[in-house]
Structure 1
Amino acid sequence: MNGSILPLFLGGLILFIFSISRLSAVLENFFSEKSKTYIHQYTRNSWLSLLVGIVVTVLMGSSSAVIILTIILINAKALNFRQSIGIILGANLGTTMTSQLIALDISSFSVIPLGIGLIIQLFIKKEPYSEYGKVLFYFGMLFFGMFVMEESVMPLRESDLFETWVTKVEGNQFQGAWVGGLITLLIQSSSATVGIAILLGKQGLINAAGGVSLMLGAELGTCSDTLLATIKGKRAAIRAGVFHLAFNLICITLGLIFFSQFLILVSWISDSSELDHLIANAHVIFNGLGVLLFFPLIGIFEKILVKLIPDKESLTP
């Protein structure tokens, strides 16, 4: 096996994760005060909270960043727990936009936003235009990292070791989900894990079952950083973190139980799409079905979690 695969793949992965982190930070600073105002103002009901979660996640490119921001707003008493539920559901749906962009194969054009963003930063120092340059630059870097990973895995078709690993993942959805969860836990980016599944599918290195099972595992692995954000937070913030975990855990369990039926549904909706598009569509459909399942039950989950994790005031005799 070509010895350049691992360093190239890791280099692309580092670029991808770094760009997501920096893009989220730039957009959070850029929209910080405005977004806090808008989130507080436009989350009066569950429908609006859902919409805000979707829109802000699409803008920031990271569901974890949005959910952590939501937890911060809860601790600042700018949001209540019920409002956060809608935002969390919306964030899970909004994050699927990244997988759709990856499947569109725009990574080969990543040098364009990279170059434009660099030029803006070098020659235009006035805000907010310099911030626009940073957004373009990190957006281009995100897809350039994906391009590097895509190019690096091509020789894996000739690897017996990789073929053995893929056979295990493709043959058992529970094994695939476990691997996807572990990868996400290690690299702290579900978008990167789903992106890896999509590019493996694009190169014909994994089948639909293997790619979808990795995606399911990524959904669970992404809960770790949001749970860490609730440490020493208010009870409402802890409820939000637990709800995020419960949402992903229940949806993943159902997805694994009805795995064959889910694959049939995704294949039928995707029709004759390429495998990378099928995996990206599976990400959208999975989160969409999860939101449809949980949204009518927001009031019930609110009551259950308030009872399980009551406010400290209610614990005093």
Structure 2
Amino acid sequence: MDIFSVFTLLGGLAFFLYGMNVLSSALEKMVGGKLESVLRVMTSNRWKGLALGAVITIAIQSSSAMTVMLVGLVNSGIMELSQTIGVIMGSNIGTTLTAWILSAAGIEGDNIWLKMLKPESFSPLLALVGILLIMTCKQGRKRDAGHVLIGFSILMTGMSFMSQSVSPLADMPVFQDILVMFKNPLMGVLLGAVVTGVIQSSAASVGILQSLSMTGSITFGMAIPIIMGQNIGTCVTSLLSSVGANKNAKRVTAVHIYFNVLGTVICLLGFYALNSLFRFEFTDSPINAVGIALVHSLFNFITTALLLPFSKQLEGLAKLTVRDTNVRETLLDERLMLSPAFAISECRALAVKMAHTARDSMLSAIGLTKEYDDGIAREITEQEEQLDLYEDTLGTFLVKLSSKDLSQADSNEAAELLHAIGDFERIGDHAMNILRAAQEIDDKGLEFSEKAQEELGVITQAIIDILNLTVDSFEREDTRLAARVEPLEQVVDSLKLELKNRHVRRLQEGRCTIELGFVLTDLLTNYERVSDHCSNIAVTVIQVKDSALENHGYLNQLKSSGSPEFTREYEQSLQRYVLPVSGGQATE
């Protein structure tokens, strides 16, 4: 083996790692945040978590990325430590698929169908199809599929380079002398852990071992400890990701380490104990790529089967290792950006929470105009501070996320969320304005007449309905509900105008006090502004389904086109919110 073989080995490793990166990124974009977002709702028990961890890891082709995401989710308070244990175990099972894919490189035979199964035969065709998809499709899933094919082809090319570079090692006495060292199982575990820790990819270290196995010099006895050590080495990535995280997030890493270390110790002791009793003859036999994939899978399945029943004990061990302190959670952990589609999904979940907070704040403020309560007033103030925090956190996170390689759908959703969070925050501001109006009513002992209260009740109900409609459409991403918001916003504008006209007439007739007039004007102005923000949010919900739409252009077209749907909804709303007949001697 000369210096050029070393260059080929390093180049092959570089191709392999880059191909894995392209493949996992493209797969993650194709899958989107929908698969991963179910983590929050499908980890109610360890079996669901196990299955979900395996599925997601297969989808994104990276157990390390899966664990880092879990650290971020726990650090953000989105998941509990107990929910992650099954997912971590499932992730270890899911990552074994890569070894089986790589084992196809060792297929031998003269049959044309067997030859076609060899990656070096079909990966060039996949690369051709992939580049055609990338060149001909500007965006969407087809382009992402092209990147998947290109990533897989690069990965397999790297595997081929590594196999070619190590083939001369079989005839080198020095290599044989080095291999003798790794007949000691502890040295094998150490080698697997160090190599995997350095390159931070168990898939790559398994690929290197599969390449070396093609020399015929690696036996089952040598490979088994190395494979077990590789599972320990993969913990390095999650260990690094937990730096700066809170205690609960660090416990995720502790669970990952304990699971892999305990699994290695148990399986290694069990294997050599059985070997001493039954003398397994295959331990001295050469192992091939398929054998490595089989051992890798069996080790992870056995470890999971042994330790899954002791999930609570693993959690307790992690808590014992990382002691309780004052846990400070972040709303959105930047580790989530490792999976941009997943990060978008978590941003939406937080934006929905923001929407509910804004609505609750406004409804509470409206209630205070009828009956003032200091406790509710404090809650509204706290909710306003929370809304400010949500907007600042989400805005900063989404701007950073927008610089990532997002799919068109995720890019549209990021833009929608950026627009919507500002409107939700402004609704909270208007709730504070209404709170101050309610305080003025209470402090000065002001009281609207029954007629004025009846009139205010009509527009108040319209505001409550438009708020509920807006939040529901945003939460469900329902364009049909969103389309009903703008006609109702037009009705609110009409109601506000009519109520102001009635107020002016009462002023002219001397049937209204100045103080109540100011309060009424403040309420009507804030109501109208809230309906405007609801309209903006509804448009963003509609716009995300059609990136060609522009907010103001859409609204202008809607109002001027005389759409039958818009007209019908507007007329129905007019009939629903009818002001009482004006007149009489009622005062505000």
Structure 1 length-normalised TM: 0.90
CA distance in 1, matches of 2:203, 2:163: 15
For 2:98, the equivalent position in structure 1 comes to: 98
* Structure 2 residue matching 1:68: 3-state secondary structure: helix
| Contact 2:267–2:303 (CA under 8 A) maintained in structure 1 | no
Aligned residue type for 2:170: R
Residues 197-253 of structure 1, C-alpha deviations (whole Å, 9 max, x = no match)? 122223313111122222122111111111111112122211110010111111112
Q: Is the 8 A contact 1:173 1:259 kept in 2?
A: no
Which of residues 69, 94, 118 in structure 1 aligns to 2:131?
118
Given the superposition, is the C-alpha separation of residues 273 and 211 from structure 1 closer, same or farther in structure 2, using an over 3 Å criterion? closer
From 306, 310, 322, the equivalent of 1:297 is 310
- The answer (yes or no) to whether the contact 1:184–1:222 under 8 Å persists in 2 is yes
CA offsets 1:237-295 (integer angstroms, 9 cap, x no match): 11110010111111112233234357799x899xx996322221111111111101111
Q: CA deviation at 1:301?
A: 2.0
Deviation sequence 1:174-204 (CA, Å, 0-9, x none): 1111111111122111111111212222331
Deviation at 1:30, TM superposition (A): 4.1
Residue 249 of structure 1 is matched in structure 2 by: 261
The 3-state SS of whatever aligns with 2:3 is coil
1:203 is matched with 215
Tell me, yes or no, if the aligned pair for 1:45 and 1:83 is still in contact at 8 Å. Answer: yes
Given that 1:117 and 1:132 are in contact with CA atoms closer than 8 Å, whether structure 2 keeps it comes out as yes
Cα separation, partners in 2 of 1:89 and 1:275, compared to 1, 3 Å: same
For 1:193, the aligned partner's letter is S
Post-superposition Cα deviations, 1:93-142, rounded to whole Å, max 9, x if no partner, equal 11111111111224323222222111111111121211111111112211
Partner of 2:179: 166
- State the superposition RMSD in angstroms: 2.5
Identify the residue that residue 22 of structure 2 maps to in structure 1: 22
Equivalent position of 1:233 in the other structure: 245
Q: 2:206 is paired with a residue of what secondary structure?
A: helix
Moved over 4 A (4+): 261-265
Distance 1:61 1:158 in 2: 35
> What 5-or-longer segments of structure 2 have no aligned partner?
106-117, 329-588
> Which deviates the most, 160-169 or 56-65?
160-169
Does the CA-based 8 Å contact 2:13-2:162 persist in structure 1?
yes
Larger Rg: 2
CA deviation after TM superposition for structure 1 residue 311, in Å: 4.2
Q: 1:274 to 1:224 in 2, by over 3 A?
A: closer
8 Å Cα contact 1:194/1:214 also seen in 2: no
Distance 2:168 2:181 in 1: 20
Do residues 287 (structure 1) and 300 (structure 2) align? yes
C-alpha separation in 1, matches of 2:281 and 2:216: 20
Task: Provide the C-alpha distance between the structure 2 equivalents of 1:57 and 1:262, rounded to a whole number of angstroms.
Answer: 32
TM-score (norm 2): 0.50
Which structure exhibits the higher relative contact order, with contacts defined as CA atoms closer than 8 Å and separated by 6 or more residues? 1
Which residue is equivalent to 1:83?
83
Q: CA deviation at 1:53?
A: 0.4
Could you tell me which of 210, 215, 218 is aligned with 2:227?
215
Q: Is the 8 A contact 1:99 1:194 kept in 2?
A: yes
Instruction: Identify the residue that residue 365 of structure 2 maps to in structure 1.
Output: none
SS of structure 2 residue aligned to 1:104:
helix
- Contact persistence 2:219–2:286 (CA under 8 A): no
SS at match of 1:249: helix
For 2:78, what is the secondary structure of its paired residue? coil
Q: Is the 8 A contact 2:218 2:287 kept in 1?
A: no
Report how many residues are paired: 312
Does the alignment pair 1:49 with 2:49? yes
Amino acid at match of 2:235: C
Partner of 1:275: 288
Query: What residue identity is the alignment partner of 1:101?
Result: I
Q: Which runs of 5+ in 1 are unaligned?
A: none
SS in 2 for 1:177: helix
